[in-house]
Amino acid sequence: MANLVPLTDDKKPFVTADGSFSYYNLTYNEAYHAKSIGAYTESLHKFVFASGILEKLQYKDVWLLDICFGLGYNLAALINEYLKTKGLYKLNILSVEKDPSVLSLLKNNYLFWPIHSYSILRKLLKGNSVNNIDLHIIIDDATAVFEYLKFPFDVIFFDPFSKNKNPEMWNI
């Protein structure tokens, strides 16, 4: 049975202002999300609303490049909002994540929310297409993958750790 709050050697859980869970990464010495804002709220406003992706999905299929998948909150927030629409157009996601342990964390953690969005995200990670959404994930350093990404993406979510903690990501 999955743990309610899985612990790892280099990630420690905490509750954020909006009640959503996030983790502190001891390797980078930085949290995945701002505790004072909330993991879900931060993802919703900094990525989903700010990118204009929902507006694009009203009139065409959209290709999203998600750099630094992390805990999946950006995609979960997007899925949650996408499901509120009629979903007539396809959402194609290519995500890049360096740390495979976050995927294990996501698969075994049932405190991330919205619960329904994370349930869909777990199915997508297994290779299933769900609700007109496809997800392809590359486990690799984004700096190494960038030169091979030739496809024209409509939207890019760029969410690495800060420039001080992860400078190599800020030079691509």
- Look at the chain and report how many structural domains it folds into: 1
Whole-angstrom distance, CA of residue 44 vs CA of residue 36: 15
| Beta pairing class for 11-15 and 21-25 | antiparallel
User: Per the domain annotation, does 30 fall within a domain?
Assistant: no
What's 86's domain CATH number? 3.40.50.150
Residues of the domain holding 129 = 39-159
User: Per the domain annotation, does 32 fall within a domain?
Assistant: no
User: Per the domain annotation, does 98 fall within a domain?
Assistant: yes
Quick: pLDDT tens for 112-141: 888 999 999 999 999 989 999 999 999 999
User: Per the domain annotation, does 20 fall within a domain?
Assistant: no
Quick: pLDDT tens for 19-65: 999 999 999 999 999 999 999 999 999 999 999 999 999 999 999 99
51 Cβ contact list (under 8 Å, min separation 6) = 155, 157
Q: Residue 1: is its pLDDT beyond 60?
A: no
Give this prediction's pTM.
0.92
